[in-house]
Amino acid sequence: MSAAPLYILGIDTSCDDTGVGIAQLGAGGVQVRANRIWTQAVHAQYGGVMPELASREHVERIDAVMADALEEAGLKVSDIGAVAATAGPGLVGALLVGLMYGKGLAQALDVPFFAAHHLEGHIFAAASEENLQAPYLALVVSGGHTHLFDVPEEGRYVLVGATRDDAAGEAFDKIARLAGLGYPGGPAIAEAALRGNPDAVPFKEPLQGQKAFEFSFSGLKTAALLAHKAGAAPEDLAASFQKAAVHVLVKTTRRAAETYGRRTVVVSGGVAANTALREAFAATDLHVVFPGKGLNTDNGAMIALAGAAALRAGRPPSPLAAGATAYAPLANG
Ligand code: KG4
Ligand code: ZN
């Protein structure tokens, strides 16, 4: 007789998306049963995320998003066997909403609670595709992060390299704005690039010849500004920038994989949705694992998957006193 599956509810309210997801952990491994996201439109008029408004909207929406997630999974709240919520990094007021909600829910249901790390969530989003087993490298490329970790064993994260300036997604967003391509910049650049010439604007490879595994995107941003002023077409700018960004992300990650002796690489975060990046990684000799559809950008299912991984690894639940932290490095080894 096989044991009944365990349902883990995951919550992410680290920024401007209210995300609730449900993962199922059973004999057949782990799978995503629901992933609901409420993207806050209120910030658009300000051109950036307003923290206080984000917190308030999380408070207003979280009940409905959770109800939607339960409905999508065909479950009742009493079926939930564990709860995980992002505790950091992120906007403290926004984080607190999901964290307190998760703790209250876990206490009411009398089930274990896990305070999750946002970046660990991004990495475990790839567990939707296959059973992640250390050792592997993890490249997290989002609007706020460009971090490359070595994961020599379950739960240990060694920082291999990070960006010196802008995050990869931030560079996509800024160059899209400069070229008048709209927001969010990643999908806008990717779409415009389909119509542009990737060799039209020559971008110099950032940090060329470095022995370390760092990233830098501010030089590409300046070069894009100069090309834009010189009259480069937005499509050509998009295609050329995307080619340069993809090249440096893949090249540095490959070099790190060789140095650290890893063959499996997880690529996650919003920029991992980029088709050109996916194709370039797929053309390498690495075994590359990307999150499934809808799991690249911020969401609750990735936090449920991180909770499932914590349960599987036998990690003890978090104390209900666990607080929210704006700055929380993942590296611990
Ligand atoms: O992971 P995420 O939702 O939020 C953070 O934690 O930052 O990532 C958002 C970032 C934005 O900068 C967005 O422009 C970028 O991911 N992004 C993309 C694509 N889709 C989203 N970048 C490149 N290509 C895409 N298709
Ligand atoms: Zn994120």
**C-beta 300 within 6 A of ligand 1:** no
Q: Which residue has the tokens 């194709």?
A: 279
Annotated binding site for Fe cation: 118, 122, 298
| Nearest CA residue ID for atom 3, ligand 1 | 297
pLDDT for res 42:
87
**C-beta 273 within 6 A of ligand 1:** yes
Three-class HEC string of the chain: CCCCCEEEEEEECCCCEEEEEEEEEECCEEEEEEEEEEECCCCHHHCCCCHHHHHHHHHHHHHHHHHHHHHHHCCCHHHEEEEEEEEECCCHHHHHHHHHHHHHHHHHHCCCEEEEEHHHHHHHHHHHCCCCCCCEEEEEECCCCEEEEEECCCCCCEEEEEECCCCHHHHHHHHHHHCCCCCCHHHHHHHHHCCCCCCCCCCCCCCCCCCCCCECCHHHHHHHHHHHHCCCCHHHHHHHHHHHHHHHHHHHHHHHHHHHCCCEEEEECHHHHCHHHHHHHHCCCCEEECCCCCCCCCCCHHHHHHHHHHHHCCCCCCCCCCCCCCCCCCCCC
**C-beta 19 within 6 A of ligand 1:** no
Nearest to 269 by CA among 14, 52, 43: 14
| Nearest CA residue ID for atom 8, ligand 1 | 270
| Nearest CA residue ID for atom 18, ligand 1 | 186
Query: Structural domains in the chain?
Result: 6-129+295-313 (3.30.420.40), 136-289 (3.30.420.40)
| Nearest CA residue ID for atom 19, ligand 1 | 186
Question: Rounded CA gap, 139 and 76, in Å?
Answer: 36
pLDDT for res 2:
59
| Ligand number, closest to the Cα atom of 274 | 1
Annotated binding site: 118, 122, 140-144, 173, 186, 274, 298
pLDDT for res 1:
46
Q: Which residue has the tokens 């307003």?
A: 50
pLDDT for res 333:
82
| Nearest CA residue ID for atom 7, ligand 1 | 143
Paired strand residues for 300? none
**C-beta 292 within 6 A of ligand 1:** no
pLDDT for res 30:
97
Of 117, 220, 267, 271, which is best to mutate to test ligand 1, by the most ligand atoms within 8 angstroms of its C-beta? 271
| Residue 2: C-alpha distances to residues 6, 153, 206, 328 (Å) | 12, 28, 53, 39
23 alpha carbon – ligand 1 mean position (Å): 23
| Ligand number, closest to the Cα atom of 17 | 1
**C-beta 186 within 6 A of ligand 1:** yes
| Nearest CA residue ID for atom 10, ligand 1 | 143
144 alpha carbon – ligand 1 mean position (Å): 9
In angstroms, how far is CA 329 from the centroid of its own chain?
Answer: 15
**C-beta 102 within 6 A of ligand 1:** no
For the CA of 275, the nearest atom of ligand 1: 26
The whole-number mean pLDDT for each consecutive block of 10 residues of the chain, a chain of 333 residues, reads 86 97 95 97 82 96 98 98 98 98 98 98 97 97 96 97 97 95 91 98 96 97 97 98 98 98 98 98 98 97 98 95 94 89
Q: Is 131 exposed, middle or buried (0-12, 13-18, 19+ CB in 10 A)?
A: exposed
Question: Rounded CA gap, 11 and 75, in Å?
Answer: 16
Nearest to 205 by CA among 237, 160, 163, 243: 243
Edge-first strand order for the sheet with 136-141 is: 158-162, 146-151, 136-141, 264-268, 287-289
pLDDT for res 40:
92
Annotated binding site for substrate: 140-144, 173, 186, 274
**C-beta 291 within 6 A of ligand 1:** no
> Quick one: tokens of 295?
């799991």
**C-beta 190 within 6 A of ligand 1:** yes
**C-beta 274 within 6 A of ligand 1:** yes
Nearest to 113 by CA among 331, 327, 301, 321: 321
pLDDT for res 261:
98
Nearest to 5 by CA among 71, 82, 105: 82
Paired strand residues for 71? none
